[in-house]
Structure 1
Amino acid sequence: MDWAVEKQAWPNADHSHFIDHRPHRWHVQDMGEGPVILLLHGAGGATHSWRDLMPLLAQHYRVVAIDLPGQGFSQLGVKQRCSLPAMADDIASLIQSQCWQPIAIVGHSAGAAIALRLSEIGVCQAGPIIGLNAALGNFKGVAGFIFPIMAKILSLNPFIPGIFSRSASSPSSVKRLIEGTGSQLSTDGLQQYQKLISDPSHVAATLAMMAQWSLDGLRSRLPSIKAATYLIAAENDRTVPPDTSAEAAKLLPNAHVTRLENLGHLAHEEDPKRISEIILGILKENQAA
């Protein structure tokens, strides 16, 4: 997507800027004052996912949100650096270069896995790490074998992103995709996803992330992660079942699970006020401790 064209309609664009830090060019949104909270979106998302939650948190903290490499408006520098450990290393390097020193990391879906990896390598090591519908489980059964292979094959075909963008970016297709996650979004929210899906470079980076993604290493190390971890799981999530959070919490030494009714995978977009109250409560509890 072209920032010069899209910035007029992009949520919180007044708080956007770009950082050239190898190997990528990062799109960052920075809002509020005080201790830093870092926001990490999930695969296929962008900073727009935090459009309503971010201003609520920024009333109390400085909130920094980034687009993952190649997704949204961040420009992918090296295609081979879309794996979980590589992205975490690159984000940690970016954080260090900007002296952000986050006191908490909020990650949605795959962003929660990246947040836990960041904690492992010394970023916000004590937590809290807050996972919204955290994608901390592999696909089960045949899907666990087939899906990664399919992602690798699709990511190697240079024509696939353009084909997918053309076929899946109609308003009706986007609406079906979002509803398939168990969430109901406003027309404005759907339009933002339509912009992302219609961008072949965004789709290509998402496919590259899926092709290189593996949770096996992180899952084997969950018992050694000491950070206070709060997993918020929506009961209507059809993308990451809420039991995934419950199962991960059993492996983490310092984990807490909150289950929410009537919300889906994009819970923070459906009810940002409710999610902000939970997050602010977690931060207050940890500061008191």
Structure 2
Amino acid sequence: MRQEEFTLLRRIFVDTSPDRMPETPPNDWPDVSSSETHVVNGICWHIQRLGKPRGEAPALLLVHGTGGSTHSWAGVTTPLAAHFHILNVDLPGHGFTHVPPEVERARNPFTLPGMARELRTLLSHLDEQPDVVVGHSAGVPVLLRMTLDGAIAPRHILGCCPALVPPPDWYVALLAPLLGLVVESDALAGSAARLAAATSIIGRMLQSTGSRLTAEQLARYQQLCSRPAHVHAAMTMMSRWDLPALFRDIGVLRVPVQLIAARNDRWIPLTSLRRAVERIPGVELVVEEGGHLLPEERPEVVIRLLQDRRL
């Protein structure tokens, strides 16, 4: 990162306060006709329910990764809607799920246990009990934590490009200065719109995933990253992630786990991931072509693996 970019980032993130008012997805957002808003324990959740009515098909829960949203699953929802009752959620602070500052201060919902706890509360409120859960990147540890805690009891866990290893050195070098600002400041300040306009960091981040996205897919990330609340949630989540605690408990897991690694994933190195998943009982690791944003780049992989299991 160039010095002038870092100086700009510090000014953007520290000198101004983010707008954290709730927003609704725009009319052209994927599956927007299925969007719902639920206020649960102070958090205003954005979710999407589509597919078969509840009780008429297996219930499928979709959980995106850091910096993603319901849009991360746009390529899988329509094909799977014929076979599942689908619940697609924006994690706390991400996309169009709003976390008021007082809730963040009181409950710390951007940690791994915090994400798992808040999502458990949402599912209880909705009376949803997923039979199958699918996560991407950091969404995979969230689902594993929920399963270990007894918050969910799925028949199968499918994880895409699971964030179960420390990030590579180049990734840390790119983001460490920004994560440091998050730790030093109670609120990630600034306008992500100014960030996107003044630097190439968003495009560089997406390019660094190893995935090839369409112009439409890139535009969705640009839109999300123009919202300071979304950027705040993503970067605070990264700064507070704790995998060692998860792996201390993972040995008691008894749910079948299938993980998809992407051969060109520059964020989750395959060699490191192979070593990490050896600690998960009965895990199956599948390697596919693609980058870190595999559910968007190659949604057919997720669809095929779910259909192959005849769930």
Same fold (TM over 0.5): yes
Which of 19, 34, 38 aligns to 1:19? It is 38
Which of 88, 99, 118 aligns to 1:76? It is 99
1:184-243 deviation per Cα after TM superposition (whole angstroms, max 9, x unaligned): 111110000000111111111112212221111001222221111111000000111223
Are residues 55 and 123 of structure 1, via their aligned partners in 2, closer, same or farther at CA, if it must alter by over 3 Å?
A: farther
Deviates more, 1:140-149 or 1:52-61: 140-149
Structure 2: state its 5+ residue gaps: 1-20
What's 2:292 paired with?
A: 265
**Residue 53 of structure 2 corresponds to residue 30 of structure 1:** no
Structure 1: state its 5+ residue gaps: none
Which of 50, 60, 73 aligns to 1:50? It is 73
What's 2:240 paired with?
A: 212
- Separation in 1, partners of 2:304, 2:211: 20
- Separation in 1, partners of 2:206, 2:306: 24
Are residues 138 and 176 of structure 1, via their aligned partners in 2, closer, same or farther at CA, if it must alter by over 3 Å?
A: closer
Q: Is the contact between residue 17 and residue 27 of structure 1 (CA under 8 Å) also seen in structure 2?
A: yes
Shift of 1:148: 7.0
Does the residue aligned with 1:81 lie in a helix, a strand or coil?
Answer: coil
Q: Percent identity?
A: 32
- Separation in 1, partners of 2:60, 2:272: 24
Amino acid corresponding to residue 179 of structure 1 in structure 2: Q
* Counterparts of residues 136-285 of structure 1 (less than 5 Å): 136-139=164-167, 151-157=179-185, 161-162=189-190, 164-168=192-196, 173-261=201-289, 263-282=290-309, 284=310
What CA RMSD, in Å, does the superposition of the two structures yield over aligned residues?
2.6
Does the residue aligned with 1:162 lie in a helix, a strand or coil?
Answer: coil
Does the residue aligned with 1:56 lie in a helix, a strand or coil?
Answer: helix
1:140-162 deviation per Cα after TM superposition (whole angstroms, max 9, x unaligned): 67987997786253254378542
Are residues 96 and 189 of structure 1, via their aligned partners in 2, closer, same or farther at CA, if it must alter by over 3 Å?
A: same
Shift of 1:280: 2.0
| TM-score in terms of structure 2 length | 0.83
Q: Is the contact between residue 171 and residue 194 of structure 1 (CA under 8 Å) also seen in structure 2?
A: no
Does the residue aligned with 1:11 lie in a helix, a strand or coil?
Answer: coil
Amino acid corresponding to residue 23 of structure 1 in structure 2: G
Shift of 1:275: 2.2
Are residues 272 and 142 of structure 1, via their aligned partners in 2, closer, same or farther at CA, if it must alter by over 3 Å?
A: closer
Amino acid corresponding to residue 304 of structure 2 in structure 1: E
Amino acid corresponding to residue 56 of structure 1 in structure 2: P
Amino acid corresponding to residue 132 of structure 1 in structure 2: C
Which of 60, 76, 90 aligns to 2:83? It is 60
Are residues 134 and 148 of structure 1, via their aligned partners in 2, closer, same or farther at CA, if it must alter by over 3 Å?
A: same
Are residues 99 and 112 of structure 1, via their aligned partners in 2, closer, same or farther at CA, if it must alter by over 3 Å?
A: same
1:72-124 deviation per Cα after TM superposition (whole angstroms, max 9, x unaligned): 00001322221100110111111112111100110100000001011112244
Are residues 179 and 17 of structure 1, via their aligned partners in 2, closer, same or farther at CA, if it must alter by over 3 Å?
A: same
Does the residue aligned with 2:123 lie in a helix, a strand or coil?
Answer: helix
Q: Is the contact between residue 82 and residue 209 of structure 1 (CA under 8 Å) also seen in structure 2?
A: yes
How many residue pairs were aligned? 282
| TM-score in terms of structure 1 length | 0.88
Does the residue aligned with 1:134 lie in a helix, a strand or coil?
Answer: coil
Are residues 221 and 46 of structure 1, via their aligned partners in 2, closer, same or farther at CA, if it must alter by over 3 Å?
A: same
